[in-house]
Amino acid sequence: MKVDPALVDHVARLARLGLTPDDRLRYVSELTRILAYVEKLNTLDVAGAEPLVHPFEGRNVFRPDAVQASPPPEDGLANAPDRIEKFFKVPKVIE
C-alpha cells in the first residue's frame, strides 16, 4: 500500500486530527516505514490457517441478565463539557 499525502489527509480526517504541512510529510514517511514492516506478513504462506479473531482461547463470557445499581445520573453528567438538564449539550449535528 502506497502512503501519499492524500491518504494521510484522509486518515487524519477520520481520526479528527489537524495536521500541519510538516506533520503531513513526516507521517507520509513514518507510515510508509510502518506499513513496509507489516508487509512482511504478506510473504508468509497462511493457506490452511484459521483466521485468529482473538488472542484468548476463552469463549462465551457472559454476564447474567440481572439489574445492577447504576451510578447516579449526576456522576455521569459530571463529565459533560456542557449540559442542559439531564442532557449532554454538543455542537449542532444536523442542518
- Closest CB to other proteins among residues 40, 63: 63
Beta-bridge partner residues of 84: 87
- Closest CB to other proteins among residues 22, 49: 49
What b/e readout covers 25-58, taking b as 16+ CB neighbours within 10 angstroms?
A: eebbeebeeeeeeeeeeeeeeeeeeeeeeeeeee
Q: In angstroms, give the least distance from the CB of 76 to other proteins.
A: 6
Q: In angstroms, give the least distance from the CB of 41 to other proteins.
A: 15
**Could you list the residues that contact other proteins (CB under 8 A)?**
10, 14, 16, 53-56, 58-65, 71, 75-76, 79, 84, 86-95
Q: In angstroms, give the least distance from the CB of 29 to other proteins.
A: 22
Q: Which amino acid is at 28?
A: V
- Closest CB to other proteins among residues 49, 84: 84
14 phi-psi bin (left φ>0, alpha ψ -120 to 50, beta other): alpha
